[in-house]
Structure formats: structure tokens, C-alpha cells
Amino acid sequence: MPKISISELFFAGKHLINSATNGYVATKGVHLEKWRDEFKRRHAGDNDKSKNTAHQRARKALISLKLVEVNEDIYSLSDKAT
């Protein structure tokens, strides 16, 4: 699993939920581009490259921990995360 801080993982997961559900808990997912754009908009990284790297690490960690599921670039919370 890639090296990632707990705060990056929490940030990515939280914004996956918010992007996917507009603040409401639901089972629908979010497209990768929408999730990445929201992550980058709110991340405090110095530039797009660092923001993209942080998002990629968080995304991989969430998948590795089975907290999110992906189907054709649509990401949703897994049963384990809810």
C-alpha cells in the first residue's frame, strides 16, 4: 500500500462522500473526475502535481482498505465504510 497520512485518507474519503451525495448519506457513487476536481479544489497542496499525487495516494489507499469500490470510474463507499 502506498505511504499516506491518515489526514489525507480522511480528507479523500470525506470528500468522496460529499461529492457523491451533496452532503446526504446515500448509496450513489461519484465519477473519478468529479471526485478529483473536488479534492483538488479543497486540498492545500502547492500545485496541481502535488494535489494529483495526494488524491492518487488516497484513492489507492481507500481501495486497498476496501473502503471504496470502483466500477467503470464510478467510486462509491463499500459496505465496510458505512
How many domains, in total, are found in the chain? Answer: 1
Q: Is residue 52 within 8 Å of 41, Cβ to Cβ?
A: no
Distance between CA 24 and CA 17 in Å, rounded?
Answer: 8
Question: Residue 45 belongs to what domain range?
Answer: 6-77
- Residue 42 falls within a domain, yes or no? yes
- Residue 82 falls within a domain, yes or no? no
pLDDT at position 72 is: 93
What pLDDT, in 10s, does the model give residues 43-82? 888 999 998 988 888 888 888 888 888 999 988 877 776 5
Global model pTM greater than 0.85: no
What pLDDT, in 10s, does the model give residues 35-52? 888 888 888 889 999 989
Dihedral of CA atoms 24, 12, 8, 46 in degrees, nearest 10, equals -110
- Residue 63 falls within a domain, yes or no? yes
Distance between CA 57 and CA 3 in Å, rounded?
Answer: 7
pLDDT band per the 50, 70, 90 thresholds, residue 2: low
What are the helix (H) ranges across the chain? 6-21, 32-42, 48-64
Q: What is the CATH number of the domain that holds 20?
A: 1.10.10
